[in-house]
Structure 1
Amino acid sequence: MSIILSIETSTKGCSTAIHQGAQLLALSELFHEKSSSGMLTTLIQHVVKVSGLDFEAIDAIAVAKGPGSYTGLRIGVSTAKGLCFTLDKPLLAVNTLQAMAWQVYSIAQAINTNDIPLLCPMLDARRMEVYCALYRANNLEQVVATEAKIIDEQSFAEILETQKIIFFGDGAAKCEAVLGHNPNAIFLKETINPSARSIGVLAHKAYQNSQFEDVAEFEPYYLKEFMATTPKKAL
């Protein structure tokens, strides 16, 4: 059964995990206001030690490919690729939003509704813009592709006329004031952060299907070009 080391650095948080098949062996997470990806190497060493394995026992490296923080994704992917080259292991990549949707899968099924709701993971992309996608709650089939979306009162209006949507993630909080009046819009109260826990589960499926990335050519899924800000010069 495959043993996969997973890395998640899409946001300010940072997490690593070891899975044997779909079973979680070890998990280490940090969530800070400031980026915690600088602790990534320490977290990797920790989960390998806690799992009772060594690096040679790992069959593949999995990484959250984005969307998310430009800096966080760059660090996570660079680290994953470095491990792949060093250990001569294959690389697996998982969409960050899909992994978030996996976390809410069981919660969505418990909601008392005759209709199958849609899951909408959201990551904050500054101001009223979010990274989001839509998945079916019963099978995680993607029905709307990953996109950078500016939220206003008309967002998701056509879909919300006939279907319930469960919104979650750090981008959902700022959208509730705009969309929360709609009875078909459900906002989870609990915080859902991207996690290596779910990256590993989805990576296991990708491993079984031999969905490996080209280690040399692979790049994070930034979705938008990086926009650097420079301080204004004093007059």
Structure 2
Amino acid sequence: MTPTEHAPHYLSLPDARTVTTQAVRAAGHALDNALREQTMMCLTADPGVGKTFTLHTLCQQRPTLSALRLLPRPQARPNDLRHSLHHALDLPGDPPQDAGICDDYLRHALEQPPRLLAVDEAHQLSASCIEYLRYLHDDPVPQVTILLLASRPRLKALRSQPALLSRVTTWHHMEPLAADEVFTVLPRFHPLWQNTHHNTLARLDDMWAHGNLRRWAALTHQLQAHLRRRPDQSPEPTALLRRLHPTLAPSA
């Protein structure tokens, strides 16, 4: 395991590594099945578990995969998706103003090679944008697998769309790190945790992180800040927690 350059870790942690967890492997298996069938898949997780980071990781692990990643603004219109796709495909010039002409360009560009079209924060999509994705999915010309990333608390917004319910073949939910997985993942995620006692990791996970990688990144950030100030003094777990949430760890 080596550090991944430019990995989109939360807070851009120096020396953070990309670790293929059980959840990432399971998501990769589900994605490979969707790619073989060129179908629609929805990847969900609680905030901070790592949906977007998992997408980056899976794409890095599949260097031959042609992936288009879209992050539409809330309540985007179909024209917004058209324009985003036009730029993601690196097509020349500005997107045509006429929707039909623009769609013809996009259909031709998406014909080859087969691509993954990943839409982050898909729970924010309007009904008209979901209809547009349905159009791309049902059209026999574009060779696309559509991956929707959504926060589990907002999943109801997607499940309420009839156009998706009959087309999404996989609703894959990512779980946070299991309690025992924390002991193996954290030392590989960042060298600052390599010599940390299991009891300390378990206490931090139980009181704050709960297997959530974004929270572990925040803890790592606080640990780095402490060691910059006091390089010869290892912090107590309560000291780290007080900086993140004062009510979690009362003063000693």
| CA radius of gyration, larger in | 2
When you count strand as a share of all residues, which structure comes out higher?
1
User: TM-score normalized by structure 2?
Assistant: 0.29
* TM-score for both structures, normalised by structure 1: 0.31
